């Protein structure tokens, strides 16, 4: 298989794309792009790459039918600077290879994430792991920011005091807060990157990790634009229905658009046989999917 060089990806190698107040993402290296995916898919019968439309159609077909192995042929290596609380969410995706900055070997920098005032909000009433959409009033938000910044400063001063006394770095670091920035090299193939992006670009993901995911998707587009376009159309922007939800959808469509020439009794029976009606939270989730396109 020939080496695939993508000029748009080459142009952004080692360029820092800022995220949050002090973070960034850099594309360190990549292996292949759209061409590598279609080459891998066609190797079984020896055909080379074809024209743009045929290649795009093949990529669409592969994604729609969950043929994932050709996408595993494309690999990205990112250098990421991110707060530790974001890293702890990120590392749950165990399909990547990671090398992280070690506080046992290195003295940690005085770099902490401080949210913007517009991102400071109360705990959500209906989402146990998220914040409300409405930010606090400006004055109250600044009080919260000041408290966070004061705690970060005091923690770092204690840390440096211990390091300067010669206390082992692996002990001195243990009281540093989750807002401290860390860095890592993160290597992942395109198939598993799409899974990461599907989850971390969802509206239910924490805002801070969503911002990183958006930048990574923008970077991936430079190497594999057709793959990313297909991902956005068939996965990121798609909604799936459970068996009961599909029955509810069938019922509604049958009620709105009866078959030509059918009588009312027959149409009514078709609706009744579509399955049990949804109610409660199940109905609420279904309505959200229909009205917003959000996958719950």
Domain ranges of the chain: 7-108+181-236, 118-175, 243-292
Q: Which residue has the tokens 């009080």?
A: 143
User: For residue 160, what is the enclosing H or E element?
Assistant: helix 138-164
The separation between CA 145 and the C-alpha centre of its own chain, rounded to angstroms, equals 26
Task: Compare 270 and 242 and report the one with higher pLDDT.
Answer: 242
pLDDT tops 90 at residue 245? no
pLDDT tops 60 at residue 226? yes
| pLDDT tens digits, one per residue of 161-208 | 999 999 999 999 999 999 999 999 999 999 999 999 999 999 889 999
Q: Fold for 7-108+181-236, please state it.
A: Gyrase A; domain 2 (3.30.1360)
Average pLDDT score over the chain: 89
Question: Which one of 173, 200, 226, 251 is the catalytic residue?
Answer: 200
pLDDT tops 90 at residue 246? no
Please enumerate in sequence order all residues whose Cβ is within 8 A of that of 186, keeping only pairs 6 or more positions apart, or say none: 77, 78, 79, 80, 90, 96, 97, 98
pTM score, whole prediction:
0.87
Query: Cα separations (Å) of 238 from 109, 148, 235?
Result: 42, 38, 5
200 is annotated as an active-site residue: yes
In the numeric block, which tokens belong to residue 9?
A: 């990806």
CA distance 156 to 114: 14
**Residue pair 120/145 in contact by the 8 Å Cβ criterion:** yes
Q: Which of 70-74, 126-130, 169-173 has the lowest average pLDDT?
A: 126-130
């Amino acid at each position: 298989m020939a080496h695939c060089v993508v000029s748009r990806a080459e142009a952004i190698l080692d360029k820092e794309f800022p995220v949050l107040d002090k973070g960034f993402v850099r594309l360190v290296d990549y292996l292949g792009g759209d061409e590598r995916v279609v080459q891998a898919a066609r190797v079984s019968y020896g055909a080379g790459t074809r024209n743009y439309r045929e290649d795009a159609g093949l990529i669409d077909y592969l994604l729609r039918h969950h043929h994932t192995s050709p996408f595993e042929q494309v690999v990205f290596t990112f250098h990421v600077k991110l707060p530790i609380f974001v890293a702890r969410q990120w590392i749950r995706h165990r399909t990547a290879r990671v090398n992280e900055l070690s506080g046992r070997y290195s003295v940690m920098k005085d770099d902490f994430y401080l949210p913007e005032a517009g991102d400071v909000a109360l705990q959500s009433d209906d989402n146990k792991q998220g914040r409300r959409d409405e930010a606090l009033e400006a004055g109250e938000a600044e009080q919260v920011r000041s408290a966070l910044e004061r705690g970060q400063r005091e923690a770092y001063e204690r840390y440096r005091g211990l390091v300067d006394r010669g206390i082992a770095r692996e002990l001195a670091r243990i009281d540093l807060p989750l807002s401290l920035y860390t860095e890592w090299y993160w290597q992942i193939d395109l198939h598993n990157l799409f899974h990461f992006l599907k989850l971390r670009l969802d509206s239910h993901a924490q805002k801070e990790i969503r911002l990183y995911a958006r930048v990574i998707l923008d970077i991936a587009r430079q190497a594999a634009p057709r793959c990313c376009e297909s991902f956005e159309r068939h996965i990121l922007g798609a909604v799936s229905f459970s068996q009961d939800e599909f029955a509810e959808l069938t019922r509604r469509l049958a009620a709105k658009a009866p078959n030509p020439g059918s009588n009312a009794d027959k149409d009514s029976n078709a609706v009744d046989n579509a399955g049990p009606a949804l109610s409660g939270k199940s109905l609420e989730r279904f309505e959200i999917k229909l009205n917003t396109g959000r996958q719950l």
